[in-house]
Amino acid sequence: MGAIRHLVAAFVLCALAAAAQAQTYITVLTGGTSGVYYPLGVALSKIYSEAIPGAKTSVQATKASAENLNLLQAGRGEVGFSLGDAVTQAWTGNEEAGFKQKLDKLRALAAIYPNYIQIVASKESGIRTLQDLRGKRLSVGAPRSGTELNARAVLAAAGLSYADLGKVEYLPFGESVELMKNRQLDATLQSAGLGVSSIRDLATNVPIVVVPVPPEVVTKIGDPAYQPAVIPAGTYSGQDQDVPTVAVRNILVTHSGVPEEVVYRMTKSMFEHLDELVAAHTAAKGIKLEEATKGLPIPLHPGAERYYREVGLIR
């Protein structure tokens, strides 16, 4: 009987070990809770937990692009959101952008929706153009976040630097809006999908001006990741005209240590459940399968490549 009990115990231990091994942990790295990355990350986590057998998913709020890429390089997450220009800088190892060395483990899962660089000022500030930002109080996003990298690029192209501003605040979207409501800031620069909740909140509480980024400024940035774009009239309360700006495509990034089968299923399930992402945030309307492999500054993960070959997107 003792031998049988030992055999049963050994069998149970083996079964438990196999079950533990079969568990797939997927941490989705996002951004601040008032941005677009977070609600999309929550929706993506739900899709993965239902579509991938044995998947145990979680969502992590972060400082967005740069932090996400560093976490992925360290294996502390399986997939994360990032702006395309930050991915380029991570791959080349741009220390000023927050990458002390080349992040060589990064792999692309998909190019997704574009981020629109949205510069919003209170109407009473008198800010109407980029040059009007001189001497004013501006929030540029968390330090070395994708938003802050965008802020540096746009201001430099307009012939401005942080030294030309009256005050620079390095704050997440939600905190920037609260300071503007309290008249402690004149403007906020937010790189996000159209209709981001933080600016919607601001526009319903304070009369705003959406500051244009003219096409000639976009050209001076000199980075192909930055493309001219338009914030359509009516995107925010009180915005009654189209406003030219600049857009940067977002990329879903994974790393080389995530198994091919897992990334294949992550890619497949996302594109098969895009309606759930759109329900989470309208920015996801910009995610298109036919554009998923365009303009990627890093190699595709073999799992993602397998899916794109399967659907005939690449040969």
Lowest-confidence region among 50-54, 135-139, 294-298: 294-298
What residues make up the domain containing 92?
Answer: 21-112+250-310
Residue 34 lies in a domain: yes
Residues 71 and 87 in one domain: yes
Residues 244 and 254 in one domain: no
How much is the average pLDDT of 191-207? 94
Which of 228, 248, 268 finishes a domain?
248
Residue 16 lies in a domain: no
Residues 141 and 185 in one domain: yes
Which of 232, 248, 264 finishes a domain?
248
Residues 119 and 217 in one domain: yes
Taking only the tens place, the pLDDT of each residue in 89-121 is 999 999 888 899 999 999 999 999 999 999 999
- What is the model's pLDDT at position 234? 97
Residues 206 and 292 in one domain: no
What value does the mean pLDDT of the chain take? 92
pLDDT at 192 over 70: yes
List the alpha helices (DSSP H) in the chain: 2-22, 37-51, 65-73, 84-92, 146-157, 173-181, 197-205, 215-221, 260-272, 274-280, 302-310
For 76, 81, 112, 144, 226, the CA distances from 68, given in Å and listed in that order, are: 9, 7, 16, 12, 20
Residues 242 and 123 in one domain: yes
Banded pLDDT at 59 (limits 50, 70, 90): very high
pLDDT at 15 over 50: no
How many structural domains comprise the chain? 2
HSE at residue 147, side-chain half, CA atoms within 13 A, is 28
- What is the model's pLDDT at position 3? 53
Residues 234 and 280 in one domain: no
Residues 176 and 270 in one domain: no
Which of 203, 227, 248 finishes a domain?
248
SS3 226: strand
d(CA 152, CA 129): 16
- What is the model's pLDDT at position 218? 96
Residues 263 and 167 in one domain: no
Residue 5 lies in a domain: no
Residues 26 and 105 in one domain: yes
Residues 174 and 154 in one domain: yes
**pTM for the whole structure:** 0.80
